[in-house]
Structure 1
């Protein structure tokens, strides 16, 4: 009896392992899957809901360093006493708009260290969707001209 129970248990475990191994591993979401078609209300790639969530997340996690309206501080180009640059503005007045969505997401996820900064990594705090909402929140401050230039770069980047 115990032998048959042991055989049944082994067979069950083997089946579970085989089924698990045969399933496709889900791929992580990617910014290339983000539809760039203008959405109602925002007229940009992000929805009104993403903007609302992003504003909340930005206020909770980013504003203390980047400014309430992503404006940073006036002397953000000058190193501080520790030899670090302050967080740059994200409101379209600095270089953030030069970067594709993938880079913006990567810097938020991995932090500033890989690019020589001190910003902490947020990937264990913010999901991919939440990071997109944060990006929407600061892109909302970009002028239409800055957004159009960024969009052209983003579209070109995706074609290459």
Structure 2
């Protein structure tokens, strides 16, 4: 039950980010939107937008713009948070990869990769 709720929250966050980008670009979200093979409701998009604002926007930007100079390493050697708009690279990852990055951290997909992004699986 807890895993299903967690997955629903991550799905909502991902779809919310997509919905937020579509709204910010003044384009309607297409009918029949799916995430991980399941239909997405407008309610899930609303929940996802709230989750994104609460947990993601501080690094990835209120308008999905990412951190400044996101392609250059920080003094710590880690990469800044990339944008989630069309200028970033999120689009080339599958829904499943993005879900895994968010739930388990980037190290779950890219071993030994150090990132400032926490894993949200315990939330």
Shorter-chain TM-score range:
0.5 to 0.7
TM-score calculated relative to the size of structure 2? 0.64
Partner of 1:124: 122
For structure 1, the residue ranges without an aligned partner over 5 or more in a row are: 1-25, 35-40, 126-160
Aligned residue pairs, count: 91
**Greater helix share, 1 or 2?**
1
C-alpha distance in 2 between matches for 1:92 and 1:103: 18
TM-score calculated relative to the size of structure 1? 0.50
C-alpha distance in 2 between matches for 1:82 and 1:107: 20
C-alpha distance in 2 between matches for 1:104 and 1:88: 13
C-alpha distance in 2 between matches for 1:50 and 1:69: 19
Contact between 1:108 and 1:123, CA under 8 Å: does it hold in 2? Answer: yes
For structure 2, the residue ranges without an aligned partner over 5 or more in a row are: 12-27, 35-39
Instruction: Give the CA RMSD over aligned residues.
Output: 2.4
Runs of 4+ in 1 over 3 A off after TM superposition: 28-31
- Which of 78, 83, 92 is the equivalent residue of 1:84? 78
C-alpha distance in 2 between matches for 1:69 and 1:113: 26
C-alpha distance in 1 between matches for 2:69 and 2:120: 25
- Tell me how far 1:54 sits from its aligned partner: 0.6
C-alpha distance in 1 between matches for 2:57 and 2:65: 9
Contact between 1:42 and 1:48, CA under 8 Å: does it hold in 2? Answer: no
